[in-house]
Amino acid sequence: VSATRTPQSITAVPGSVTVIMRQEIEIQTALTATRDLGEMLPKLVPGLAVGSQSMDSYSQTLRGRAVSILIDGVPQSVNPTNFRDFMRIDPSAIERIEVIRGATAIYGEGATGGIINIITRKAAKGETHYTTDVGANVSTTHAGDSLGGNIAQYISGKGDGFDYTVNAAISQTGGLFDAEGDRTMPGADDIGSFADSKTLTLLGKIGWDIGNQRVALSANHYGFEQDSSYTPDPASGADK
């Protein structure tokens, strides 16, 4: 477990810990209409509130308390009410996820419920390694309006004391519908569902081994665009 700042065995951490490996992430990605970790993780992490298929994580708490989200140990928000933290990285770039329950201030404010540390993939040994992930999803009852898909490309290489990884992913989400077949509204003020949206994530890492030490530089870019013909009509109380 690395979210304690100093690597420790799970048995040595004074708290409840859940480690989600890449294989579990891949299974949930295949079963989820969006590539939103906020929707996948509650199915794997006991105590994590279920997501609302929306662009905010206000209601997603760990054991009823706020959670701090990290990527490779870097906090993604300094304000616990900030949203979209789960969206900043594509599942194809993740090696494992560590969840440590219990209040802590080791990474600053916002972790009264615990820490979720998203650890990105490491470079594969040997020659340059390529992995391509392509997927599509559609509702069987609204095929024309719900078609979505994604493509992700992972590249890594490792030489003598030097390694690098690059991960790029583009995803398209079509219309989303509830169990009764009604469309879930994209909404206003960026608090609605992911319906009719496009997401772009880019992650790059470079690392050097210097003696017994390692120096790494990473950069992450996230872009989101939504273009829908539907929005709630608050004046009438009906969706249009």
pLDDT digits (tens, 9 = 90+) for 157-172: 998 888 999 999 999 9
In contact, 42 and 48? CB cutoff 8 Å: yes
Q: Which residues contact 66 (CB under 8 A, 6 or more apart)?
A: 80, 110, 111, 112, 113
- In this prediction, residue 83 carries a pLDDT of 53
* Out of 43-52, 65-74, 145-154, least confident range: 43-52
pLDDT above 90: residue 204: yes
In contact, 170 and 200? CB cutoff 8 Å: yes
Report d(CA 92, CA 78) in Å as an integer.
Answer: 25
Q: What angle do CA 144, 146, 152 make, to 5 degrees?
A: 120
Report d(CA 168, CA 145) in Å as an integer.
Answer: 26
Report d(CA 111, CA 40) in Å as an integer.
Answer: 20
What's the mean per-residue pLDDT of the chain? Answer: 82
State the CB neighbour count (10 A cutoff) for residue 197: 21
Question: Where is mean pLDDT largest: 9-18, 92-101, 187-196, 226-235?
Answer: 92-101
In contact, 36 and 87? CB cutoff 8 Å: yes
Residue with tokens 């979505």: 148
Report d(CA 227, CA 149) in Å as an integer.
Answer: 16
What is residue 145's three-state secondary structure? helix
pLDDT above 50: residue 190: no
E strands, the chain, are 17-21, 67-71, 74-75, 94-101, 114-120, 129-137, 148-158, 162-173, 197-210, 213-226, 232-233, 238-239
Q: Which residues contact 102 (CB under 8 A, 6 or more apart)?
A: 15, 16, 113, 114
* Out of 69-78, 79-88, 99-108, 229-238, least confident range: 79-88
- In this prediction, residue 168 carries a pLDDT of 96
* Out of 2-11, 13-22, 203-212, least confident range: 2-11
Report d(CA 94, CA 175) in Å as an integer.
Answer: 26
More confident residue, 235 or 177: 177
Report d(CA 88, CA 167) in Å as an integer.
Answer: 13
Maximum Cα interatomic distance, the chain, rounded to a whole number of Å: 67
- In this prediction, residue 240 carries a pLDDT of 46
Give 184's pLDDT tier (boundaries 50, 70, 90): confident
pLDDT above 70: residue 138: yes
Give 191's pLDDT tier (boundaries 50, 70, 90): low
pLDDT above 80: residue 226: yes
pLDDT above 70: residue 205: yes
pLDDT tens for residues 192-201?
Answer: 677 888 999 9
- In this prediction, residue 229 carries a pLDDT of 83
pLDDT tens for residues 7-44?
Answer: 778 777 777 889 999 999 999 988 877 788 888 898 99
Is the four-CA dihedral 58, 64, 66, 68 of positive or negative sign? negative
